[in-house]
Amino acid sequence: MILGLSLQAVAFAPILGRPLIMWGGLSTLVLLLLTGTVAGLNRKGIHTVPMIWHFRLAYLTILLVLVHGIIGMLLYF
């Protein structure tokens, strides 16, 4: 329990009419696509976004995937 709230209450808390867990999944997808776009642009020689940002975005994506996945799995266990 987080501050007196159950995990389900936090995960399904409505934000703009949708549950928080959905926004986590959408954020994860956007970060994944952005990470791939940065790598693809750099591979084609378009260096408007430095390659270091690819690695930073990748680490952030992995962190968000783990948090999102753990919260999603804990809802059913």
Inside any domain, residue 57 = yes
- Residue 52 belongs to some domain of the structure: yes
What average pLDDT does range 10-20 have in this prediction?
A: 90
Decide if 1 is inside a domain.
no
Mean per-residue pLDDT, 20-38: 96
Q: Note whether residue 48 is domain-resident.
A: yes
Query: Range of 39's domain?
Result: 7-74
Is residue 2's pLDDT more than 70? no
Confirm whether 31 is domain-assigned.
Answer: yes
pLDDT of 15 strictly over 70? yes
The answer as to whether 69 is a domain residue is: yes
Could you tell me the CA-to-CA distances from 21 to 39, 44, 48 in Å, in that order?
27, 35, 33
Report how many domains make up the chain: 1
What is the per-residue pLDDT for 10? 85
Mean pLDDT value of segment 65-73: 93
Q: Is residue 27 part of a domain?
A: yes
Mean pLDDT within 58-73: 95
Is residue 2 assigned to a domain? Answer: no
Give the CA dihedral 1, 62, 36, 73, nearest 10 degrees.
Answer: -50
